[in-house]
Amino acid sequence: MMKRRQFLKSGALLLTAPLLPGCGDSSGPGRSGSSGGNLDDTGMDFPLVLPLPFAHGVASGDPLADRVILWTRITESTPSASQIPVDWEVSATPDFVSVLKSGTQLTEASRDWTVKVDVTSLSPATTYYYRFHAFGQTSIVGRTRTAPATMVEEVRFAVLACSSYWSSYWSGLGHLADRNDLDLVLHCGDYIYDFVDEDEEVRARKDIKDTAYVDYRDWLNLDEVRRRYALFRSDPNLLRAHQQHPWMIVWDNHDLSTGYGNELASDIDPATSTCTLDDTTRAFYEWTPTRPVKADGSGEFILVNDGSYPAPPDAKLIYRKLPYGPMVDFFGIDTQSNLPGYGLPVDASHLADGAPSLFGRQQFEWFTGHMVASQQNGVRWRVVNNQTWLAPVDIPDVVDGIPTPKLGISRWTDYAQERTLLCQTLRGDNAQSLRVRNNVFVSGDAHGNLGSDLIEDTALLSSYVSGLPVPNPRQGSTTINVPAGYLRATTAALGPISTRADSVGVEFAPSSMGRGGADELVTNALSLEPGNPLGVVGARAIELALITANKNVQFVEWVDHGYGIVSLTDERAIFEYWWQDKLTPESPDVLGNQMVSWAEENTSALPARFPDQIDSVIAHGMTVSATQGNRSAEPAPLDTALLNPR
């Protein structure tokens, strides 16, 4: 099987032959006290953005209706003690006139000086503000929000993936931080990267583009993995996006990579690497506001009630569920760590004929069981935070049962039997004989924009029929990216009859936060200068081939990068693709496309509406227009240090 990149480069050769206004005072009561600690960073070669000791800001994540994880890190030039006490506070307002919750936690080197607090006894669907104190200094103020416990009018969340520091200026993260109507941010994996992409040398720390430098090459050990998180958190836009919203993060291959390797030339001996999967998963839990789960594989949370550090008993387990009342259940899954390269034992006994499993039996049964239970409990939507494109996007079979060679654009190409079993289970082949509706998979990995129905059938000739593809009438983030991709302008419904009834859900993949798409690969394959329009021409040819060959694909665009916004109500889900020119700092936010999925069948509408299908809003006579949340929470104040990053 060819690598995805090899396919895109070789295909390209064939197809192309013819920071913000306003700031707040984040000073806290501790800032005027005695400093203490080793807080002089003069000559300190460590990625920083804010003054010591809270140089990497704050973050929150995995909120439940009554609790949320708060995060920070203590950074000194050299450790001043074996343990450091850190105070934390939670308030209903950013000025902390009234402190609702507070406590103290000790941090130490064994957890890389990170602080994670599971704050309890909070109110549902409520915005809170938080901060930390140490050495007489106070962190910036963070904003977070708990999950609802009862039905709400709307749940709004952002989706992003593949956030490569070296590939983009991350303007999109700045725009994401500016939004004041979000409940949650989902990151679909590759939160950090192990190496610099050869096609995308956009920026480097201190402008040192040298693979002998630790911040421009693959990591070699646990300390360097931890430093990579510090590098990414030294970007003001990422720091502000964490400051303003709670996140739910899953990992993917670059987060977990153990073997040393670079696409750029490096003189370092790979044999000097000591990095293990235990190291990369440990650093992930230390540096992200991720709630730990039990070691028994049940996916149940370890709920810490005494203010102590919520450490995972087995850092290699990450799949979990966040309930958001009757509107939506959020699932985080792991379709990465069971790949053969990690050497973990994988139970595939739920599959016939020795077929391989990405989930493993325990996770598969946990996931499908909870999806069915969610439907039984009357939850309106199920959103799955998923690593890689699940829907078929590859060379199709002509007829069912006669397979053709595949390119392997998604890892699911090698796990087709498990994908089939998943679709069958959601379609009703389960112990309850229950059809599970309104399933939304949000995905990353492939660095392209995708909107697709979720089917397992890859044959062109079948009962599933889509409309014809047409160019997307909208422009991307640059003048040369127009028309931006291809979409299907009709639903293909035959009056009140759906020709896409085999779909068991929809997939929404809003590209990457920087890591390159087809245009960069085309540009490099043809030895063109960055920004050459032929790169976009080549990407357009690849997109047209993919949407034509894969009947389930309703939108594809493989040039622009950014994030997505999803708006869920009882009636519908709206999906928005927001793009920024990754090569330009402070690039504007551009709405590149908008799609819709309906929660209920309505055959009296024109055209008819069917659940588990994702359509261009144009197909339903709607105009592309950005949605706006029905509430707005006051932002956490912007620290002036973020306006002048180091």
Please state the rounded mean pLDDT for residues 199-213.
94
Residue type present at position 245: H
Which backbone phi and psi does 462 adopt, to 5 degrees? -160, -175
Q: What pLDDT is recorded for position 40?
A: 95
Answer whether residue 632 shows pLDDT above 80: yes
Residue type present at position 129: Y
Contact 503, 465 (CB under 8 A): no
CA-wise closest residue to 542 among 520, 510, 515 = 520
Answer whether residue 12 shows pLDDT above 80: no
Cα atoms found within 13 Å of the Cα of residue 226, Cβ hemisphere only: 18
Dist CA 455 CA 478 (whole Å): 33
Dist CA 296 CA 362 (whole Å): 10
Instruction: Convert the pLDDT of each residue in 195-204 to its tens digit.
Output: 999 888 999 9
Contact 422, 366 (CB under 8 A): no
Answer whether residue 147 shows pLDDT above 80: yes
The C-alpha R_g of the chain, in whole angstroms, comes to 24
- Lowest-confidence range among 89-98, 323-332, 516-525? 516-525
Q: What pLDDT is recorded for position 403?
A: 83
Beta strands in 529-642 (DSSP E): 553-557, 561-568, 572-580, 590-598, 615-616
Q: Which residues contact 213 (CB under 8 A, 6 or more apart)?
A: none
Please state the rounded mean pLDDT for residues 377-382.
98
Contact 224, 217 (CB under 8 A): no
Which backbone phi and psi does 38 adopt, to 5 degrees? -100, 90
- Lowest-confidence range among 357-366, 383-392, 402-411? 402-411
Instruction: Convert the pLDDT of each residue in 312-332 to its tens digit.
Output: 999 999 999 999 999 999 999
CA-wise closest residue to 75 among 102, 106, 109, 105 = 109
DSSP three-state, residue 301: strand
Cis bond upstream, residue 483 (ω within 30):
yes
Contact 188, 158 (CB under 8 A): no
Instruction: Convert the pLDDT of each residue in 69-78 to its tens digit.
Output: 999 999 999 9
Contact 7, 407 (CB under 8 A): yes
CA-wise closest residue to 191 among 69, 281, 299 = 281
Instruction: Convert the pLDDT of each residue in 544-574 to its tens digit.
Output: 999 999 999 999 999 999 999 999 999 999 9
Which pLDDT band holds residue 14 (cuts at 50, 70, 90)? very low
- Taken in order 442, 447, 452, 457, the sign of the CA dihedral is negative
Rounding to the nearest 10 degrees, give the CA dihedral for residues 174, 125, 569, 447: 30
Answer whether residue 7 shows pLDDT above 60: no
Q: Which helix (H) or strand (E) holds 173?
A: helix 171-178
Beta strands in 266-371 (DSSP E): 320-324, 328-332
Contact 189, 252 (CB under 8 A): yes
- Taken in order 274, 280, 285, 289, the sign of the CA dihedral is positive
Q: Which helix (H) or strand (E) holds 386?
A: strand 381-388
Dist CA 644 CA 339 (whole Å): 42
Answer whether residue 32 shows pLDDT above 80: no
Q: Which helix (H) or strand (E) holds 544?
A: helix 533-549
Please state the rounded mean pLDDT for residues 154-172.
97
Which pLDDT band holds residue 185 (cuts at 50, 70, 90)? very high
Which pLDDT band holds residue 6 (cuts at 50, 70, 90)? low
Please state the rounded mean pLDDT for residues 45-73.
97
Residue type present at position 88: W
Residue type present at position 372: V
On average, the pLDDT of the chain sits at 93
Answer whether residue 526 shows pLDDT above 80: yes
Which backbone phi and psi does 255 adopt, to 5 degrees? -65, -30
Q: How many CB atoms lie within 10 A of CB 271?
A: 7
Dist CA 505 CA 367 (whole Å): 15
Answer whether residue 28 shows pLDDT above 80: no
Instruction: Convert the pLDDT of each residue in 454-505 to its tens digit.
Output: 999 988 888 999 999 999 999 999 999 999 999 999 999 999 999 999 999 9
Answer whether residue 341 shows pLDDT above 50: yes
Instruction: Convert the pLDDT of each residue in 611-628 to its tens digit.
Output: 999 999 999 999 999 999
Residue type present at position 11: G
Q: What pLDDT is recorded for position 525?
A: 85
CA-wise closest residue to 569 among 165, 157, 1 = 157
- The residues with which 85 forms a beta bridge, in sequence order, are 106
Q: What pLDDT is recorded for position 400?
A: 77
Which domains are seen in the chain, by residue range?
A: 159-520+543-618 (3.60.21.70)
Please state the rounded mean pLDDT for residues 298-309.
97
Contact 72, 59 (CB under 8 A): yes
Environment class of residue 22 by beta-carbon count within 10 Å: exposed (0-12), middle (13-18) or buried (19+)? Answer: exposed
Phi-psi region of 41 (alpha: psi -120 to 50; beta: other; left: phi over 0): alpha
How is residue 138 written in tokens?
């106070």
